[in-house]
Amino acid sequence: MTSHLSRRTVLSTTAATAATLALGTAAASQAHAVPTLPNGTSKDKVLVIGMDGLRHDRIDAANAPHLKAMMSEGTYGTSLLYASPMAATSSGPGWSTISTGVWPDKHGVKDNTFAGKKYDQYPGFLARLAQVRPALSTYAAVDWKPLDAQGTVTPGADAKLVLDGDRDGYTGHDATIAGEAEAIISGQNPDVLFVYFGQSDIVGHNQGAGSQAYLDQIAVQDTYVGRLRAAIKARPSYATERWTVIVATDHGHLDVGGHGGSAIEERRTFILATGPGIAAGARPIDTRLVDVVPTVFKQLGVPVDPAWGLDGKPVQERSTDPFDALTLSTRTDETGIPSTVRGFTHTPPSGWSVINNAMGTGGIAEWRGWAFVTDEFWSRTQRDQWRELNVRARGVFAVADSDEWADKNFSGTYDSILVTPAYDVTGSSKARLDFTTLYRQEGSQQAQILVSFNGGNPTLVRSYTSDVVSQPQSVTVDVPVGASSVNFRFRYTGSNNWYWVIDGVRISRS
Ligand SMILES: [Zn+2]
């Protein structure tokens, strides 16, 4: 949540104020009567639970039966965040991404100053619901105050509980939030709730995500999950309701504690969701943090307007990208990547091909010609060279990386062509190629898209000559009279320059 400096400042005062903390918490809970929400209007209901700085790979080792029950009942998608210069792995960008359903290059929050925020254009989901479904009964409870003061989460809520964990400590306030949310679920008829717990981040900073104390804190917050789930199931009207519960986090933590940077452990995040239509036991590789909002909307039956510009998709919708079904290997030459991490392959999906006739010899084996890789495998090759900015790729993507290839003796130049399957365009006048890309330009490097009809000579339809930082792309070409098939080629050439990423390739016709 807060920057390391101010967070540690807060922590240093915690012991000294321990006595007054308990009093303050008691006073706060006495002073704050449970608000009365408007009566709910929906049988489809959603509870979003945010846990700050929760390293998902530590849940297994924790006494967390309720989170683990959700994993077996629901869909659990882990992924990595951006890093600088797109945004820090800190709470401002993380909760903004969760609440708005867009990446930091849209919502504008790059760090905990919130400078540049664009919530007017990309509002939080409660604010959006207040616009399009004002009859829904909504509630938000947070104890990291900026989520209210900066307008990240609470605007649009019919009732809210805002506590100041930085001032008073999070332990008591987290408990107050759990208790009030439990009371509202038990005694009222809310439709949508956002509930936040912050102490996981405090313990992460203080004792590290590798500590027993961190596991103990996961166990504490797991009991809150259990109470809220039990309150839902105990509702007299539960049998006629359709509840979705989502747990997500804003960033990871180093084993020794701390976040904000580009280490894999700081970038770790997840979405865990249970509810109608959400597959049990699923572990998709194509989930990303922007998927919380589309999942909420889908479960509520709220259609997403393309004009909202959301970056996510509901967690229950699986990718049809053939790259995501490839079998991946562990490292060969890349000794900086842990030997357990899968991974990469040079074998394209059925119908695809890679032409390396003009490719130089030697170099780092993983990057000799187009490779199909995961975010973790590729971005572990070298930090802070923008590989972390590949936010609009999902699961496995294709990469041509002349920079990494050149890290071992080689001859010649990097020259590799990725060829799509042939697509039937019989009787069509236009063919369209859609994909997402991350392209980093340098020197005489070239990135070209070529089109071929009926297996004929490829012709150039687009060249990239400047950076494209994780953006959707489309190319539309005229189909010659009489042509029956089209394919596209991605040709990358370079000599120890940067890289080109391609993902989510779709070909259509009109
Ligand atoms: Zn923090």
333 CA to centre of ligand 1 in angstroms: 35
What is the rounded distance in angstroms from the CA atom of residue 453 to the CA atom of residue 347? 24
441 CA to centre of ligand 1 in angstroms: 34
260 CA to centre of ligand 1 in angstroms: 8
CATH 2.60.120.260 domain span(s) along the chain? 322-509
Tell how many helices (H) and how many strands (E) occur in the chain.
Answer: 15, 21
CA 74 vs CA 42, 67, 132, 271: distances in Å? 22, 10, 28, 10
Q: What is the pLDDT of residues 12-34, one digit of tens each?
A: 333 334 434 444 444 444 456 89
7 CA to centre of ligand 1 in angstroms: 7
Q: Identity (one letter) of the amino acid at 416?
A: S
**pTM metric for this prediction:** 0.94
What is the rounded distance in angstroms from the CA atom of residue 89 to the CA atom of residue 201? 13
What pLDDT, on a 0 to 100 scale, did the predictor assign at position 1?
57
264 CA to centre of ligand 1 in angstroms: 16
91 CA to centre of ligand 1 in angstroms: 7
- Report residue 437: phi and psi, to 5°: -140, 150
Low-confidence ranges of the chain (pLDDT < 70): 1-32
What is the rounded distance in angstroms from the CA atom of residue 37 to the CA atom of residue 258? 38
What pLDDT, on a 0 to 100 scale, did the predictor assign at position 33?
87
Residues 6+ apart with CB under 8 A from 301: 44
Residues measured by CB to lie within 5 Å of ligand 1, the ion: 1, 201
- Report residue 295: phi and psi, to 5°: -65, -45
Which parts of 381-485 fold into alpha helices (H)? 402-405
Q: How far apart are the first and last CA of the chain?
A: 48
What pLDDT, on a 0 to 100 scale, did the predictor assign at position 15?
38
Token pair listed for 70: 């959700």
* Coil, helix or strand at residue 379: helix
CA proximity to 483, closest of 455, 457, 449: 455
CATH 3.40.720.10 domain span(s) along the chain? 36-304
Class of domain 36-304: alpha beta
What pLDDT, on a 0 to 100 scale, did the predictor assign at position 52?
98
The string of DSSP codes covering 204-230 is HHHH-TTSHHHHHHHHHHHHHHHHHHH
Class of domain 322-509: mainly beta
Query: Which pairing describes strands 242-248 and 44-51: parallel, antiparallel, or unpaired?
Result: parallel
178 CA to centre of ligand 1 in angstroms: 20
